């Protein structure tokens, strides 16, 4: 039986654009109240104004860096204040990526991407889970992982590693919370039409590793609205993993079964896309 969403609440991080903004709109369209969390006030306010003007649900805004100390506590406190103490669902979506060869990485950059993509999301779901357990309440905790949680691409090792960590974290929480009424799900989009590619280009800093985001075959590209609709379906009918592409899910399964074959297929695609897949020759 589908769960009613009207009147329930959800926190959406990374809500200023892309999947986060689309999910916030989709949730508000069902009658949910949404706390929009990100760093860019102008975009959050514009999104909130649009939701409050046209949707059945309500939107409130919190400007914060999700990786800041005590950010999870501040986010959950703000949501409960805005929603009269209610806490029904969390979608930890904030994150970014960049393209760089592993041998060119720095410890600082690896730690920073883990701070934002993994540690901030894990902290938010952990603290939300604690509060729900203490009250004996049901709830739904979701984390935006990626199809790259199951396999990687050349020059995306750091990003894929954070997504694999998210996937493992959600899997463990899901098993630990069985029977409590608290659902946990990981979301696995493919390449999505968002700002992600532009962020990759900026964050990569000219490291000689081209972004693959604009070279991905069309069957592996989708809209952020498609991901948002899949998240809403999961909120209504919980499932362990949310996949937005049958092709990508089949590819992930195939690469797990035959990693050598998968490596050859990915290397072929990466070479055609102009990405670095092997040692550079000295000139």
* CATH code of the domain in which 242 resides: 3.40.50.720
Q: Residue 71 in contact with residue 126, Cβ under 8 Å?
A: no
In which band, very low, low, confident or very high, does the pLDDT at 200 lie, cut at 50, 70 and 90?
A: low
Between 193 and 19, residue with greater pLDDT: 19
Query: For residue 134, with 0-12 CB atoms within 10 Å meaning exposed, 13-18 middle and 19 or more buried, which class applies?
Result: exposed
The reply to whether 178 falls in a domain is yes
The reply to whether 278 falls in a domain is no
- The top-scoring range by mean pLDDT among 205-209, 212-216, 238-242 is 238-242
DSSP letter at 115? Answer: I
Q: Give the pair of three-digit tokens for residue 15.
A: 């809500």
The reply to whether 44 falls in a domain is yes
Domain range enclosing 237: 9-247
Active site residue 159: yes
DSSP letter at 4? Answer: P
Pairing label, strands 182-188, 139-144: parallel
Catalytic residue among 96, 98, 156, 159: 159
In which band, very low, low, confident or very high, does the pLDDT at 280 lie, cut at 50, 70 and 90?
A: very low
CA distance 128 to 90: 8
**Does residue 279 have a pLDDT over 60?**
no
The reply to whether 226 falls in a domain is yes
Mean pLDDT of 209-228: 72
What pLDDT sits at residue 259? Answer: 87
**Does residue 116 have a pLDDT over 60?**
yes
Query: For residue 268, with 0-12 CB atoms within 10 Å meaning exposed, 13-18 middle and 19 or more buried, which class applies?
Result: exposed
Q: What is the DSSP string of 196-231?
A: HHHHHHHHHTT-S----TTTS-GGGEEEHHHHHHHH
The reply to whether 19 falls in a domain is yes
Percent of the chain with pLDDT over 90: 74
The reply to whether 74 falls in a domain is yes
In which band, very low, low, confident or very high, does the pLDDT at 217 lie, cut at 50, 70 and 90?
A: low
Number of domains in the chain: 1
The reply to whether 210 falls in a domain is yes
Supply the pTM of this predicted model.
0.88
């Amino acid at each position: 039986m589908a769960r009613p969403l009207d009147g329930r609440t959800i926190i959406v991080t990374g809500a200023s654009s892309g999947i986060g903004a689309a999910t916030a709109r989709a949730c508000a369209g069902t009658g949910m109240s949404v706390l929009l969390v990100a760093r860019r006030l102008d975009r959050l306010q514009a999104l909130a104004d649009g939701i409050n003007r046209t949707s059945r649900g309500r939107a409130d805004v919190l400007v914060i860096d999700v990786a800041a100390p005590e950010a999870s506590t501040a986010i959950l406190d703000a949501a409960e204040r805005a929603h009269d103490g209610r806490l029904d669902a969390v979608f930890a979506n904030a994150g970014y990526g960049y393209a760089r060869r592993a041998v060119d990485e720095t410890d600082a950059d690896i730690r920073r991407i883990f701070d934002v993509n993994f540690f901030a999301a894990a902290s938010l779901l952990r603290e939300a889970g604690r509060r729900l357990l203490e009250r004996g309440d049901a709830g739904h905790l979701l984390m935006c992982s990626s199809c790259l949680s199951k396999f990687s691409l050349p020059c995306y090792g750091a990003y894929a590693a954070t997504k694999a960590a998210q996937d493992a974290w959600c899997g463990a929480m899901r098993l630990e919370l069985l029977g409590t009424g608290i659902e946990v799900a990981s979301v696995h989009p493919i390449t999505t039409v968002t700002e992600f590619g532009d962020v990759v280009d900026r964050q990569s800093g000219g490291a000689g590793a081209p972004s693959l985001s604009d070279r991905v075959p069309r069957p592996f590209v989708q809209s952020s609205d498609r991901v948002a609709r899949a998240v809403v379906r999961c909120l209504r009918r919980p499932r362990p993993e949310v996949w937005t592409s049958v092709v990508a899910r089949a590819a992930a399964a195939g690469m797990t079964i035959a990693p050598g074959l998968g490596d050859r297929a990915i290397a072929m695609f990466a070479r055609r896309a102009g990405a670095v897949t092997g040692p550079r020759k000295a000139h």
